[in-house]
Amino acid sequence: MVTPVEAAVESLRQISTEPPVWLVPKQELSQAVRAASKLLFASLKPHCTKSPFDELLIEGFDAEQIWQQIDLQSQPLLSSLRREVKKFEKHPEEISKLKVDVEGGKKKVLEEIETENVVVNDDDDEDDDIDMDEEDEDEEEEGEEKEKGREEESENEGEEKGGIEDKFLKIKELQEYLEEDEAREFGTNKKKRKAETKKHEEDTEDEEEEGDDEENEDDTDEAEEEEEDELGLFGGDDESDEDDLGNARYEDFFSRKKSKDSEDKAKYRDMLEEDSGSDDEHVDKKVKNQRKDGLSKHEKELDELRSKIEQMEKANLDPKVWTMRGEVTAAQRQKNSALEVDLDFEHNVRPAPVITEEVTASLEDLIKTRISEGLFDDVQKAPTLSSKAPREVKELDDNKSKKGLAEIYEEEFVQKTDPASAPLTFSDELKKEASMLFKKLCLKLDALSHFHFTPKPVVEDMSIQTNVPALAMEEIAPMAVSDAAMLAPEEVFSGKGDIKEEAEMTKADRKKRRANKKRKFKAKAAKRPRANTSVRNSDEGSKV
Amino acid sequence: MSTEATATMEIERMPSESKALPPKPQFEPLKAHEMSDGRVQFRKVSVPPHRYSPLKKYWMDIYTPIYEQMKVDIRMNLKARKVELKTRPETPDISNLQKCADFVQAFMLGFDVPDAIALLRLDELFVESFEIKDVKTLRGEHLSRAIGRLSGKGGKTKFAIENATKTRIVIADTKIHILGSFANIKIARDSLCSLILGSPAGKVYSKLRQVSARLAERF
């Protein structure tokens, strides 16, 4: 009997064999695929408990919504599957516990899935440029492929446990290693150790960073290696000091020890490198050979202490590192050694500001506000105290002087002899004008500020009044329209008699006018040269 | 006649002098009229043609102060185109005639009557004349430009110098006449010479300002 799953798969395979079919949206294709996906959904339903959908709703839903439903179902399903697979990885015996036919069916399914994967992968590559109608089918296929892929991977891997482990970190191996290390440290010998550590290191050689687990694992490895090395060193020391714990001799410190320590130090440096598993092995061997059986814990601790003390004493006797030596010039230390040390010194200058966009934005804002306020920090000149009164600057007058020279000298003379009666100078007049203005201003201010009425001061001023009517009545009409300021005709024209135009004049009028003119001229001419006659008596006759 | 009568002048007698010196004579100052042995003194001032009509215009202004206040006779000789001045018996001082002559001469040079009157009133005023070619030889356009520089636009440079130094200046073609007191004439002459020599008006103004300030401070 064909399961619904198989039927769905079969139908899908039938559809997806010819890629050109997908170029044009076809109704029957979409229908078929939708039906297939519904069947698959239903088949997976019993395995996932948390899904809110009982079945895949197809009618009236678009691709996105269908995909969302599938997604909702498949996500918890995937995680549960992963867990299952890991469980099987940890305990491979449980797989066999499963029913045979289930397993067989699973295997068969897996085989099919593998072939499907191949086909589907090809299809996916070709179907990159189809319309929306096909998208839901694609997505469904991809979803299926993912599920299948996961299962495939799990099969390939075999033993995958938990979330923190992958093919680099194996917690079980780590635990074993730690146990062995402890055993070695405390005396028990395990042959397996070597092989395990070697393998472990080989694994760590492959460098790939996938998440924190990797780093953690590396760190733990390094720590273990260092532990190992320290133990190696201790092992080396143990040999010589085992018997002479109290009698420390020169040769213990300086002669024999030197070569050994250098040897060990070299080994220590080598072991810190990643790809030197063989050296490590060598040290391990040496350490093991040098150790004697039957050292108690206390003795071991004492050994450790002793070695530490020797180390420290040696460090004290050696010439200090240049950083500890006080004043050191460049000649007394290695080249570029100051670069490696983190020196701390005071900077006298502020570090240059890092110009970021925010800094420039803040500066520009500041500039704008200052400009809008007009608050420039302009340097203002400090006002100087003038000790003496400002001199009167006499401006050069480049107009013809109205006074005659005689008058000027007269004024000067008067000023010299009698300053009081001197006529007012130009500056005095200015002062007078200024005082007048100030008095007027004071009057106005007083009127505003004082409650009592103060009348205007009487200013005796001789000024010419313009031609204004005696009664200036206030008019309601505006000034431009009203005729209050108008002059009477007789004020405009002052003339006598009958005024006639040039064209209107009769001959008699013209004659009269001319006669008047002549009379006036004669009178004027008679006035002028009257005085001459009294002096020039003799030359009257010979007048030219 | 006794020696005591004229002893007011003699303070000490000269004893044992056989020949006594005659007493110092006391004379009253001579009148202008009696000078040159009682003959009348004349001054004649020729009238240049361009001053003929102004003379006619201002004749009364010239005549009145000379005749009334200086007590000097004045007349115009039309045939000879000269103004003639003569002392009268009531002319108080001989210098009056000279002052009147200077006054008329100043008018003929081109000064206005109110300015020239100052010559009558003040003793220490003089008229100085010089030519542009005395300062620097200029020809043609340079000369015209120099004259323009001296006057300034609308005469303002000339007026500025006049006002600052209390003088009066007449620029008649290439001749320059300055009327004023001695020191002021000097200052005005310096300014005019610097203008002739080519300095710009602004420079002359600044110098004038300094000088006038100094002059004003003195009093």
Query: What Å distances lie between residue A180 and A226, A289, B153, CA to CA?
Result: 15, 17, 120
Closest among B216, B219, B210 to B190, alpha carbons compared = B210
Instruction: Please tell me what DSSP assigns to residue A394.
Output: P
Q: How confident is the model over A318-342, as a mean pLDDT?
A: 87
Is A134 a residue whose pLDDT tops 70?
Answer: no
- On chain A, the residues whose CB falls within 8 A of the CB of B155 are 400
Instruction: Confirm whether the ipTM is greater than 0.95.
Output: no
Interchain pair A394, B213: CB under 8 A: yes
Query: What Å distances lie between residue B24 and B10, B20, B30, CA to CA?
Result: 8, 12, 17
The pLDDT value recorded for residue A166 is 72
Q: Using 50, 70 and 90 to split pLDDT, how confident is the model at A420?
A: confident
**Going edge to edge, which strands form the sheet with B42-46?**
B42-46, B82-87, B72-77
In one letter, which amino acid is A213?
D
The pLDDT value recorded for residue A219 is 47
Report strand pairing: B168-172 vs B72-77: unpaired
Task: Give yes or no for a contact between A65 and A89, defined as CB atoms under 8 angstroms apart.
Answer: no
Task: Give yes or no for a contact between A282 and A235, defined as CB atoms under 8 angstroms apart.
Answer: no
Query: What Å distances lie between residue A519 and A115, A294, A498, B56, CA to CA?
Result: 147, 168, 20, 24
Task: Give yes or no for a contact between A253 and A310, defined as CB atoms under 8 angstroms apart.
Answer: yes
The pLDDT value recorded for residue A256 is 56
Is B219 touching A (CB cutoff 8 A)?
A: yes
The pLDDT value recorded for residue B171 is 95
DSSP notation for A86-135: HHHHH-THHHHHS-HHHHHHHHHHHHHHHHHHHHHHHHHHHGGG--HHHH
Task: Give yes or no for a contact between A224 and A181, defined as CB atoms under 8 angstroms apart.
Answer: yes
Q: How confident is the model over B179-205, as a mean pLDDT?
A: 94
Closest among B79, B83, B70, B80 to B32, alpha carbons compared = B70
Query: What Å distances lie between residue A120 and A16, A39, A68, A145, A146, CA to CA?
Result: 8, 18, 21, 8, 11
pTM (predicted TM-score): 0.39
Query: What Å distances lie between residue A491 and A303, A467, A469, A475, CA to CA?
Result: 140, 9, 10, 21
Query: What does the block give as tokens for B190?
Result: 């310096």
In one letter, which amino acid is A271?
M
The pLDDT value recorded for residue A312 is 93
Task: Give yes or no for a contact between A51 and A73, defined as CB atoms under 8 angstroms apart.
Answer: yes
Non-local (6+) Cβ contacts of A500 within 8 A are A509
The pLDDT value recorded for residue A165 is 66
Non-local (6+) Cβ contacts of A293 within 8 A are A187
Is B167 touching A (CB cutoff 8 A)?
A: yes
- On chain A, the residues whose CB falls within 8 A of the CB of B219 are 412, 415-416
Is A445 a residue whose pLDDT tops 70?
Answer: yes
Is A209 a residue whose pLDDT tops 60?
Answer: no
C-alpha torsion sign, points A423, A425, A429, A431: negative
Is A56 a residue whose pLDDT tops 60?
Answer: yes
Please give the distance of CA A309 from its chain centroid, rounded to a whole number.
54
Q: Look at residue B30 and give its three-state secondary structure.
A: coil
Task: Give yes or no for a contact between A282 and A268, defined as CB atoms under 8 angstroms apart.
Answer: no
Q: Which chain B residues in 102-121 lie under 8 Å from chain A, judged by CB atoms?
A: 112, 114-115, 117-118, 121
What number of other Cβ atoms are within 10 A of residue A107's Cβ? Answer: 11
Task: Give yes or no for a contact between B83 and B43, defined as CB atoms under 8 angstroms apart.
Answer: no
Query: What does the block give as tokens for B192?
Result: 């005019």
- Max intra-chain CA distance, chain B: 83
Distance CA(B182)–CA(A301), nearest Å, equals: 125
Distance CA(A104)–CA(A99), nearest Å, equals: 9
Distance CA(B107)–CA(B123), nearest Å, equals: 17
Is A48 a residue whose pLDDT tops 80?
Answer: no
Distance CA(A322)–CA(A119), nearest Å, equals: 70
DSSP notation for A190-205: -SHHHHHHHHHHHHHH
Is B213 touching A (CB cutoff 8 A)?
A: yes
Closest among A198, A206, A202 to A177, alpha carbons compared = A198
Q: Using 50, 70 and 90 to split pLDDT, how confident is the model at A516?
A: very high
- Identify which of B118, B212, B219 has the shortest CB distance to residue A405: B118
Between the two ends of chain B, the Cα-to-Cα distance in Å is 56
Digit-coded pLDDT (tens) for A143-184: 455 555 444 444 444 444 556 667 777 888 888 889 988 888
Non-local (6+) Cβ contacts of A203 within 8 A are A168
Interchain pair B118, A404: CB under 8 A: yes
Interchain pair B163, A398: CB under 8 A: yes
- On chain B, the residues whose CB falls within 8 A of the CB of A408 are 166
Distance CA(B187)–CA(B165), nearest Å, equals: 7
pLDDT above 90 coverage of chain A, percent: 12
Is B27 touching A (CB cutoff 8 A)?
A: no
Residues of A with CB under 8 A from a CB of B: 391-394, 396-401, 404-410, 412, 415-416, 531-532, 535-536, 539, 542-544
Is A512 a residue whose pLDDT tops 90?
Answer: yes
Digit-coded pLDDT (tens) for A240-299: 555 556 677 777 777 655 555 555 555 566 555 544 445 555 555 555 545 556 778 999
Query: What does the block give as tokens for A355?
Result: 């110009």
